[in-house]
Amino acid sequence: MLPPASCGYQGYGYGEAAANALVLTGQGSANVGGIARFVLTNAFNDTGSIGLAAAPGNLPLGDAVVLLDVGSLFGVFGANPAPAGAVFSAAIPNNPIWAGTSIFAQGLAFEPSQPGLLALSNGLRLTICPCIGPAARTPGRGPIPRPAGSP
C-alpha cells in the first residue's frame, strides 16, 4: 500500500525480492511543462530500461517483483547510459489538467549475477505538480504561444 500522493517523486517497494537490486530515482522538474528524469543505478554497464504505467502493481516474476500494473503499462523505454547511471527523460505536457496525475515507473536491466539474468528496481511514483509562475496565476493564459494578430 502506497502513502497518499504528494507532488514530486516518491520511491516505493525497496528490496521486495533478491532480484530487485537496482535503484530508481527521479530528478528534474515534476511540474507541468517540466522534464522528468528517471535515473537507474546499480545496473550492469549502466544500461537498462524504464517501464511506465498508470498504476502500481505487485507481480512476482522469478526472483523479482514487478511493481507496475502490467495492464496499465504505457510502455518500456530504453534508458541512455550516463556517468551517474542509465537515464530516461520525458517531457511533462504543458497543460494544467495533468497536475495531480501520478505515473509509476520501474527500471529493469540485464544482470549476469542474477539467476534469471534480469534485475529490477524499486518502484517510483511521479506525481505531476501544478505549474508555477505566471501561467499558474493567470487563468486561461498558459505559456502556449499565440499566433501574431490573435486576441
Percentage of the residues of the chain whose pLDDT score is greater than 70: 83
Strands (E), 23-142: 23-28, 35-41, 48-53, 56-61, 64-68, 73-82, 85-91, 102-110, 118-127
How many C-beta atoms surround the C-beta of residue 68 within 10 A? 24
Burial class (CB in 10 A: 0-12, 13-18, 19+), 45: exposed
pLDDT band at 89 (very low <50, low <70, confident <90, very high): very high
For residues 59-83, average pLDDT: 91
Residues 6 or more apart whose Cβ sits within 8 Å of residue 39:
24, 25, 26, 27, 82, 84, 85, 86, 87
Whether the full predicted model's pTM is greater than 0.85, yes or no, is no
3-state helix, strand, coil in the chain (%, to 5): 10, 50, 40
The answer to whether the beta carbons of residues 125 and 2 sit under 8 Å apart is yes
The answer to whether the beta carbons of residues 37 and 88 sit under 8 Å apart is yes
What does the mean pLDDT of the chain come to? 84
pLDDT band at 125 (very low <50, low <70, confident <90, very high): very high
For residues 19-36, average pLDDT: 92
pLDDT band at 7 (very low <50, low <70, confident <90, very high): confident
Query: What are residue 112's phi and psi, to 5 degrees?
Result: -60, -20
Q: Would you state the pLDDT for residue 120?
A: 93
How many C-beta atoms surround the C-beta of residue 33 within 10 A? 20
